[in-house]
Amino acid sequence: MNKWHDYPDAQIRARPRARAFADGFGADWSFADLDRAIAELSDILLASGVRPCDRVMLVLENCNAAVAALFACSRIGACVVPVNARQTEAELARIVGHVTPAVILFTSAASPEARDHAQRAGARPVSGAFGQMHLAAPNPSAPDPDLADVAAMLFTTGTTGTPKGVMLTHENLRFGGLTSANFRGLTQDDVVYGVLPISHIFGLASIVTGSALAGAFVQLDARFAADRAFAALNAGVTVFSGVPQMHALLMQYAKEQGLERLPSGALRYTSSGAAPLDPAWKRKAEAFYGVALQNGYGMTESTAGICASHNRIGDPDISVGPPLPGVDLRIDETIPGGGDGVGEILTRGPHVMKGYYRNAEETGRVLAQGWLRTGDLGRLDAQGNLHVVGRAKELIIHGGFNVYPPEVEAALNDHPQVIQSAVIGHRVGGDEQVLAFVQVPEIGAVSEAELAVFVAERLAGYKRPSRIVLAKSLPAAPTGKILKHRLLTHFADQLV
């Protein structure tokens, strides 16, 4: 079976001296450097008791060491579980309890949050060609044969509020990387700006895997900052994928410098994902970059890519484009609320996950005869382009990160003065804000500030509500179900 790490290994053999990855922490590696880092980290993992089909959790922010860890796990046959270091201790504990990793690696040199998690876990420092990381071994080796073909496991809570480990096979990631590289026309001459988190599927499959396949050079950035991104894009970056908020902040930063467009002429491809496009905003972004702004659609369970646009500059199309090569797609109009061409988006192909780890019930709910039920609503136009018209899963995309309302609601509902809560996304500019509406027994029983502190201990920063509205009742149907679509208008006066 072909493996995920075959992509960088091919570049290591063919172009060992070519630049591969650099980060903001002093690491600038050739493919030969990447090979040494992978090899040394592989030895450390094996010496720590990791065996094929074990789980290795990787608590990270973008850096070269994280890339080495991803491919080291692939080389030794372990399943890597990448997790954003900005998650809270409680969030990490739930994942640890679910996957029982033999080893946890922390990118402590690149992330203060990872360093804090490592300290709490009693991890020891390890160093080598990969730099310095921390390692904890919380569980004995326990290989799971069901993971023999699984390269990575990414966590998503979906609509249940319970973390679910999405099992992505070597074939999934190889297909995702190949599709991304081919679609973007990546070559050895490209410089890719990697600010999307590689603990999430787009950064993992497209930025890391696609670039490794093509032999493109990746400039990693742990966190988005408009000034750093602007500098990178003016220093030879040719490919930049982001979310609307990133593009908006970049354009605002340039405006503050007295510039209306990006000075560099190197950029040849840019895309915006994870949120719908506005036609006027799209025209503004294209005028700034001087190239077409592409759009796309995907999810963790589909190894990111389902559809993507390939428009020329100035094209008013704001769809997410047609299905990618090798991807099947259909619209199921039989679901409640479906009809007139609108229905649930289903997809099938080598991009679809193996299933949810240790969760046969949820796997059976979303997978049937190879088709993945996305939970999203869409329609196809006459040209075969997909238009996503709603999220059945109520997913919120805030700052490029997935925020699932049930998870935020669960954190709020833990407070003794909270009866129930409802969380929705509200578009402001190019981003979605997280709004929480909380039912309490009496106004004054708890304050917004108190609840904000309460959930801060339970949720990563990007999941925390920007506003918490307190009320003695929430709009509800006779069944008691909260009518989320009425919340904004019902509480309009309090949101001013």
Query: Tokens 């192909």 identify what position?
Result: 349
CATH of 224-391, one of 3.40.50.620, 3.40.1080.10, 3.40.640.10, 3.40.50.12780: 3.40.50.12780
Question: In what helix (H) or strand (E) does residue 397 lie, and over which residues does it extend?
Answer: strand 396-398
Q: Where in the chain is the domain with CATH 3.40.50.980?
A: 6-184
pTM, rounded to two decimals = 0.84
Judged against a pLDDT cut of 60, whether residue 159 lies above it is answered with no
Residue 150's SS3 state is: strand
CA–CA distance, 301 with 154 (Å, rounded to integer): 9
Judged against a pLDDT cut of 50, whether residue 479 lies above it is answered with no
Mean pLDDT, the chain, integer: 91
**CATH class held by domain 396-495:** alpha beta
Query: Which pLDDT score, from 0 to 100, does residue 276 have?
Result: 65
CATH architecture of 6-184: 3-Layer(aba) Sandwich (3.40)
Q: Where in the chain is the domain with CATH 3.30.300.30?
A: 396-495
Confidence of residue 208 (pLDDT cuts 50, 70, 90): very high
Confidence of residue 435 (pLDDT cuts 50, 70, 90): very high
Q: What percent of the chain has pLDDT over 90?
A: 72
Beta strands in 44-176 (DSSP E): 55-60, 79-84, 103-106, 124-128, 131-136, 150-156, 164-169
Over residues 220-247, mean pLDDT:
92
Confidence of residue 392 (pLDDT cuts 50, 70, 90): low
Residue 388's SS3 state is: strand
Judged against a pLDDT cut of 70, whether residue 136 lies above it is answered with yes
Structure tokens at 397: 């995309």
Q: Where in the chain is the domain with CATH 3.40.50.12780?
A: 224-391
